[in-house]
Amino acid sequence: MPIAYFIGGPTDIAHENAMDDWGRLPAFTGNLDVGHFGTFDQPNGGEFGRVGGHWLKWQLKGDQASKARFVGPGCGLCATEWDVLRKDLG
C-alpha cells in the first residue's frame, strides 16, 4: 500500500524529510505552499482535510472517485494549486 505525504511546501519543516521518504517508497506527495500547519486551522481541516479524506476513502474503502484525484493522466489534483508527485500508486 502506498503512503501519502501532504506537505506545506518548501518552507514546511517536514518538507526535506518527506521528500527524502518519497524517493524511497511508493508514495503520493502533495505540496501546498501554506507552511507546516497546513490548513488544519480551517473548518474541517481545510484543503488538507479534504484531500486527506479522499486519500483515506480510496485506500480504506476502494472509492474510485477518490482514487481519480490521485492517479491517472487526468489526476484530479494534478491541475490544481497542489504540486503533485506520484510513484507506484497502483
Residue range 60-81, pLDDT digits in tens: 999 999 999 999 988 999 999 9
Q: What's the CA gap between 34 and 9, in Å, rounded? A: 6
Reported confidence tier of residue 1, pLDDT bands at 50, 70, 90: confident
Q: Supply the pLDDT for residue 74.
A: 84
In angstroms, the CA 60 to CA 9 distance is 26
Single pTM value for the model: 0.87
Whole-number average pLDDT of the chain: 93
- Residue tagged 485506500 (cell numbers): 59
What is the number of structural domains in the chain? Answer: 1
**In the predicted model, what is the mean pLDDT of residues 10-29?**
93
- pLDDT score of 38: 87
Query: Which residues on adjacent β-strands are paired with residue 3?
Result: 27
